[in-house]
Amino acid sequence: MKTTVRLLSLIGACLILAAAVAAQAKEMSAAEKEVWQLEENYWKFAQAYDLESYRTLWHEEFVGWPRSEAVPVGKSGIGGWLERRKNAGQTLRYKLERRAVREIEGAVVAHYTVHVEWVASEGKAESEVSRIMHTWVKSGGRWKIITGMSASVEKPAKK
């Protein structure tokens, strides 16, 4: 009896996992693909410390809450984290993990995890992992980030 219950539980868990994977694997719309490419560009610009190109991704009316800031900021407040790292002489390495990109009534929302490594000139590395969410809208025919938020991914406490 116990073996049958365990087996049925395992089969049920596998079916739920398969359904979740299938939902994530759906084909992205053209807008979702375009926005995801812009998210990749975001990180390429950040890595190159190309603040001019980086800032073109943001809507003039942007408001969001980067993990590096104590309060929400507007467009004029974005990029400070890059300027601080650049001034410290650090090099950026990163890896993106797309979690969800959804087109919803004229907007596209992108959720992902980014693994970042900041390497100092003497070679010492500092790692961090963040969850990021950006909402993109069309403005002047181009996708722009209108709002977003990032948060540190902390390791769960051991019990």
- pLDDT tens track, the chain, 159 positions: 565 545 445 454 444 444 444 445 579 999 999 999 999 999 999 999 999 999 999 999 999 999 988 999 999 999 989 999 999 999 999 999 999 999 999 999 999 999 999 999 888 999 999 999 999 999 999 999 999 999 999 866 666
Query: pTM for the whole thing?
Result: 0.80
d(CA 154, CA 157): 9
How high is the pLDDT of residue 60? 97
In a domain, 114, yes or no: yes
Assign residue 50 a region (left: φ > 0; alpha: ψ between -120 and 50; beta: otherwise): beta
d(CA 120, CA 135): 32
User: Do residues 150 and 131 lie in contact, with contact meaning Cβ atoms separated by under 8 Å?
Assistant: yes
Q: 70 lies in which domain range? A: 28-152
Residue 115: HSE in the Cβ half-sphere, 13 Å Cα cutoff = 5
Q: How many domains does the chain have?
A: 1
In a domain, 18, yes or no: no
